[in-house]
Amino acid sequence: MTQAPQFESLETGLLVRAPAKLNLSLLIAGKRPDGFHELETVMAKVDWFDEILIQPGDRRGIELCCEGPHWAPAGQDNLVYCAAEAVFAACGRACDVRLTLTKHIPAGSGLGGASSDAAATLIGLNAFFDLKLPRTRLEEIAAGLGSDVAFFLGGPLAFCTGRGEKTAELPGNFDFTAVLILPDINVSTSMVYANYTHDPRQYQLWSQRANAHLAKNRIDLVAKMCANMLEASCYHVCKELGELKEVVEALGVGPVCLSGSGSTLFFVVDDTDAERLGLLQDLIASKTGCRSIVVRNNRW
């Protein structure tokens, strides 16, 4: 499988690719004293990317430009800007830099786009300016930026706990092909968590099964569980998404899973023939009006 590299040196600067992720499972052990939820999630990077072009700045400080098919906030409201500020502060340097974010991964989709952008910024600036920050320091910075950011510093497959910031890379590769269904819906993560009702029995059942599969490095069996404890809350907050899942499953594609807190739905396919996958995408579009894309597991 040939994939685009993480870094690409251009005449104009350094291009860094920021991959999307899927939650192959997402379990919640309960609520923590700090108000966050204790997560146990298997996350996998896929070969669909945002891109960040790092160039020397022609004015003082950090300049961020956003382009591409999807909207992203400019300036200090963007995690790319926050990551750049944090990494320069960590090494006590003030660098003039121009960052161009090309946004392909939609916000509010459960694919970790903003977190991946932040991680790509950290490692990209560290390389471009030769800041010499060790991985452990980058992980500390990442934890302060957001729960999923640390995952994107490593990978391509990890078991993440805590708020998602504690990562344990999983050995080997899990080769898979998945169809992502991308409804034009932006789901509020905070609302999904606010409406979440914990089910200790369901957690124990899924956790025991997932841990048994992980002990044998059977990530494929974890993925087949299609276990996401945020599903019920997500479909309560956004009924259209639950209805969409039912329509797609009625096409006979097998279990349809939710990534993160939504809104992306996905299913893993065994048949990877490009022509047949194209026909399946056409069928999904005709039945739901939703765009879909085919992704594969990322190699880095």
Q: Decide if 195 contacts 262 (C-beta within 8 A).
A: no
Across the chain, where does the E strand assignment appear? 7-10, 13-31, 37-56, 62-67, 97-102, 157-162, 166-169, 177-182, 257-258, 265-269, 291-296
175 is catalytic: no
Here the tokens at position 81 are 């800007």
Q: How far is CA 220 from CA 63, 210, 229, 267, in A?
A: 42, 11, 19, 12
148 is catalytic: yes
Selected catalytic residue, list 21, 45, 103, 245: 21
Selected catalytic residue, list 45, 117, 148, 245: 148
- 232-249 exposure pattern, b = at least 16 Cβ within 10 A, e = fewer: bbbbebbeebbebbeebe
Residues classed as catalytic? 21, 148
